[in-house]
Amino acid sequence: MTDDVRHDGPPPFDRPFEGEDTKQRVYGAVLHAREPMTAAEIAERADCSGESARTHLSFYADLGIVIRHEGRPVRYERNDDYFEWRRVNKLARENTVDELQAHVSELTDRIEEYRGEYGVDSPAEVDVLEFDAERIDDVYVELSNWATLIEERRLHERARTKAAGSTAPSHS
C-alpha cells in the first residue's frame, strides 16, 4: 500500500469532521455527545473557538436541534425528540399510508415471533442468565433486534397516523 491519502471510506476516528465547516463540526460534536456539554467542550471537539461554538449552538437551540440548560456554565445537549420528529416526518413523506401500515404489520409479526420464542412480552423480561454460555451472545443480539423492531414499529405507526391525517379530506 502506498502513502497516498484515501478519499473513500469513513474519516479517521480522531478527526471525524475534518474538512467540514465550523457549523457542521459543531453540529457533529453535539450529535456525538452522550451527555450535556459546555460550549467550550463542544468547541474543543469541533476544533473551533468558544465564541463560534456558542453562536452555532444558539442557532441550533432556536431551531430545537439542541436543548440549552441554563446555569454556570450553560450546557447543551442534542434534542432526541427533534431527531425522532424528523424521522417520523421523513417516513410519512416518503411512504403511503398503505406502505406504512404494511410495514407496521410486518414489524408486528416479527415482534410476535420473538414473543413466541422467548415466552415473554418484551426483551426486558428475558433473563439472559437462563441461557447456556455459548448462546448468551446470540441472545443479546436477538434482544437488541427485538427492541429495535419495537422502536421501529412505534415510529412507523406515528408516521402512518401522521400520513393518514395529512391525506384526510378537509372540511372547509
Buried b (16+ CB within 10 A) or exposed e, 47-73: bbeeebbbbbbeebeeeebbbbeeeee
Cα–Cα dist 162/133, whole Å? 44
Confidence at residue 4, expressed as pLDDT on a 0 to 100 scale: 45
Q: What is the pLDDT of residues 141-166, one digit of tens each?
A: 999 999 999 999 999 999 999 999 87
Q: What is the pLDDT of residues 80-135, one digit of tens each?
A: 999 999 999 999 999 999 999 999 999 999 999 999 999 999 999 999 999 999 99
Domain ranges of the chain: 22-78, 82-167
CATH architecture of 22-78: Orthogonal Bundle (1.10)
Cα–Cα dist 106/119, whole Å? 20
